[in-house]
Structure 1
């Protein structure tokens, strides 16, 4: 279940660092977070959907890797992103 294009564009415009930015770590993490929230809602309804649960775990791992990269690269951007997305760490 991909994100709606409108929602995706809103997330990209909110987190981009310059007008043509679509691939910075902040944008990628924000998009992954939106997909993770969407899958969590799906799994609350369909508790036995283990294929989607595996996909969720893979997305969480990918987001974790990007967060680790951003933390190592620029700690202030990392902290600001965590605060804005409401993630714990």
Structure 2
């Protein structure tokens, strides 16, 4: 399993402030980025897995909408987050 409880707690602790703050926008974006990276690696080995490809596209769309929200809300946090997670605009 690629996403264990410990990995989730670390992500939420680093980006959400503490491990119980799972609703923070930054924490959700970081979790989506982790999942997107995993699915991208999976699709490199399994090009014909169209269900995973569709899930990946939907996940990227969700992350994009959260990034747009964060950009409107706080541009400094947005810039810091995309630099830290190595997301290109």
Deviations 1:39-69 (A, max 9, x none): 0011011110000000000000000000000
Q: Which has the higher contact order (CA 8 A, sep 6+)?
A: 1
**Equivalent pairs, count:** 89
1:21-60 matches, within 5 Å, as 21-60=21-60
Distance 1:26 1:68 in 2: 12
Q: Is the counterpart of residue 69 in structure 1 residue 69 in structure 2?
A: yes
The answer for unaligned runs of 5 or more in structure 2 is: none
Distance 1:77 1:87 in 2: 13
Give me the CA root mean square deviation: 1.5
TM-score (norm 1): 0.92
The answer for unaligned runs of 5 or more in structure 1 is: none
TM-score (norm 2): 0.92
